[in-house]
């Protein structure tokens, strides 16, 4: 772990759900493990009229139960927790009123250090917060601003938010966060590709038949019905998380691990994505919406019965796409993207299926004629890498059976692995942009998904229904079959 500089971390939205579930628990873990500079300070900002002591009680009640990496929750009487709370100040502030920002400037002026501003608020407030910072006496010369998604709901609104932030902060001060990029297994995908000579010669169209990227959730909208109904799975998961994973799999080797070298290669992938034609919109894109069913043997309502959802909503809770990348490395290789709520299992994984041997001289299992090798990179709930291949079954004859070479990170490495938010927050303090999204990346992703958004908004056809607890609408399996592939659970 690199040495951290002295810093002040200002958290806008300091009483919100994200602050309690992710940001403050991640900062506590970094504090407990001595990864934060001893003089680093945390200023939490929200409109609630708490005193500092009242706010610290709120944090102990609402953030401590979400601490991971050392037990189910933290003991709030522990020395480490008390010393973490000693770092925290609280400022009650109306975020839209510029007058109150002078009090923030006075708090920040107590020390000349790196300032990180984390905007864990609605994106509708981003422009006003940045403008108020600019018109105050807050020193922004060493400032970094971290922006939470969603950054807009289409390309135009994304432009507007980015333009507003750019009027105050330069691009190298802006950290657009995508927590999937901070996951240990995504880091290991980069290591697998670029630190080993074994895979790179095979990482191309001549050896790979297709690639699948899945982010499956068992949860429904979980009380966020009004927000989710205006967002949907395409904006919530595909435009950011899934396309970032696709870029990590498909990008060319960068010249170095410098932030811009990595992000340059990701942008090239996004710009090479084949645009959706009119035929593609019908045959290579599936949207679905869950109906009542059972998850883990418990009955759950359909999407239209969730609180905050209109009775005629056509918002998609499931998306499956057949994408292609128009470049020399990947021409003709299908990339299948899939995400959904209320699916059979919680899982996030990348499955890379290699082409079968050109001529089978040994009897293959199941009488299928050939069985492809697969590299399975599991992101959640557990993190692992498996290489599926064939081996001889013990006994007489040459009988082949599938086996897996399994790298389980829990078994291979005994030290604790950093949570995604912990890694990304430390990188923001350190000034490392490698795992954050650049503006041209984000806009290239919006350009690719917008034809789907417009098509689904204009069509009279509703989303395909699928039962909660299933693997999505049958149309997604039909889409795969047309391409000569299948999802893992269909094997």
Contacts of 206 (CB under 8 A, 6+ apart): 355
d(CA 131, CA 205): 48
Quote the tokens at residue 363.
């009897």
31, 37, 159, 241: the active-site residue: 241
117 membership: H or E segment, kind and range:
strand 114-119
Written as six digits, the tokens of 402 are: 């599938």
Q: Is residue 381 helix, strand or coil?
A: coil
Residue carrying structure tokens 């980015």: 162
Distance CA 446, CA 238 (A): 10
Structure tokens at 242: 């899934």
Is residue 37 part of an annotated ligand binding site? no
Handedness of CA 158, 159, 163, 166 (dihedral sign): positive
Asked if residue 53 belongs to a known ligand binding site, the reply is no
How far apart, in Å, do the first and last CA atoms of the chain sit? 42
Residue 392 labeled ligand binder: no
Q: How many other C-beta atoms lie within 10 A of the C-beta of residue 103?
A: 14
Q: Determine whether 241 is an active site residue.
A: yes
Strand order in the sheet with 88-92: 88-92, 41-46, 7-12, 114-119, 143-147, 174-176
Helix (H) or strand (E) holding 31: helix 24-32
Within a 10 A sphere around the Cβ of 86, how many other Cβ atoms?
11
Q: What's the rounded Cα separation, in Å, for the pair 68 and 233?
A: 27
Q: Is 94 annotated as contributing to ligand binding?
A: yes
Dist. CA 250–CA 360, nearest whole Å = 29
Residue 395 sits at φ, ψ, to 5 deg, of 120, -170
C-alpha distances in Å from residue 383, one per residue of 99, 187, 337: 47, 11, 19
3-state secondary structure of 285: strand
In sequence order, what are the beta bridge partners of 46? Answer: 92
b/e per residue, 464-483, with b = 16+ CB within 10 A?
A: bebbbbbbbbebbbebbeee
Q: Is residue 217 part of an annotated ligand binding site?
A: yes
Q: Is 95 annotated as a binding residue?
A: yes
Tally of CB atoms within 10 A around 282? 13
In 3D space, the residue among 42, 120, 27, 34 whose CA is nearest the CA of residue 74 turns out to be 27
104 annotated binding-site participant = no
**Cis amide bond preceding 431, omega within 30:** no
**And the tokens for 305?**
């019965």
CB-CB contact of 318 with 288 (8 Å) = yes
The full DSSP string for 356-367 is: PPSS--SPPGGG
From the annotation, which residues make up the binding site? 94-95, 149, 179, 183, 217, 236, 341
The residues that are catalytic are: 241
**Which residues are known binding-site members for substrate?**
179, 183, 217, 236, 341
Name the binding residues for NADP(+): 94-95, 149
């Amino acid at each position: 772990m690199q040495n951290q500089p002295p810093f002040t971390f200002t958290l806008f939205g300091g009483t919100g759900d994200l602050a309690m579930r992710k940001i403050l628990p991640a900062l506590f873990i970094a504090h407990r493990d001595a990864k934060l500079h001893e003089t680093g300070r945390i200023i939490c900002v929200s409109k609630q009229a708490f005193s500092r002591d009242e706010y610290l009680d709120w944090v102990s009640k609402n953030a401590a139960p979400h601490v991971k990496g050392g037990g189910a929750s933290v003991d709030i009487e522990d020395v480490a927790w008390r010393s973490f709370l000693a770092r925290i100040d609280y400022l009650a502030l109306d975020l839209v009123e510029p007058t109150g920002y002078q009090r923030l400037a006075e708090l920040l002026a107590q020390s000349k250090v790196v300032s990180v501003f984390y905007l864990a608020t609605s994106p509708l407030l981003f422009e006003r917060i940045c403008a108020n910072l600019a018109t105050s006496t807050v020193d922004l010369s060493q400032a970094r601003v971290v922006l939470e998604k969603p950054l807009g709901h289409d390309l135009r609104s994304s432009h507007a938010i980015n333009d507003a932030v750019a009027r105050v902060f330069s691009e190298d001060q802006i950290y657009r966060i995508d927590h999937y990029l901070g996951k240990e297994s995504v880091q290991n995908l980069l290591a697998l590709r670029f630190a080993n000579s074994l895979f790179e010669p095979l990482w191309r169209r001549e050896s790979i038949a297709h690639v699948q990227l899945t982010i499956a959730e068992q949860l429904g909208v979980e009380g966020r019905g009004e927000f989710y109904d205006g967002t949907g799975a395409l904006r919530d998961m595909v435009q950011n998380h899934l396309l970032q994973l696709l870029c990590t799999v498909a990008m060319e080797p960068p010249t170095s691990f410098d932030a811009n070298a990595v992000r340059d290669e990701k942008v090239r992938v996004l710009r090479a994505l084949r645009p959706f034609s009119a035929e593609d919109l019908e045959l290579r894109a599936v949207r679905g919406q869950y109906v009542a069913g059972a998850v883990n043997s418990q009955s759950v309502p359909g999407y239209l019965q969730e609180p905050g959802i209109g009775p005629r909503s056509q918002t998609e809770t499931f998306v499956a796409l057949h994408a292609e990348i128009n470049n020399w490395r990947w021409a003709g290789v299908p990339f299948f993207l899939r995400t959904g709520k209320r699916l059979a299992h919680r899982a996030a994984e990348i499955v890379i299926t290699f082409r079968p041997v050109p001529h089978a001289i040994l009897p293959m299992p199941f009488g299928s004629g050939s069985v492809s090798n697969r590299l399975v990179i599991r992101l959640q709930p557990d993190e692992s890498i498996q290489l599926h291949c064939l081996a001889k079954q013990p006994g007489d004859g040459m009988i082949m059976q599938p086996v897996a070479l399994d790298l389980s990170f829990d078994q291979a490495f005994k030290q604790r692995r950093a949570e995604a938010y912990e890694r990304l927050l430390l990188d923001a303090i350190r000034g490392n942009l490698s795992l954050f999204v650049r503006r041209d990346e984000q806009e290239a992703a919006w350009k690719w998904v917008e034809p789907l958004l417009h098509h689904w908004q204009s069509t009279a056809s509703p989303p395909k229904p699928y039962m909660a607890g299933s693997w999505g609408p049958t149309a997604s399996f039909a889409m795969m079959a047309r391409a000569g592939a299948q999802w893992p659970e269909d094997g």
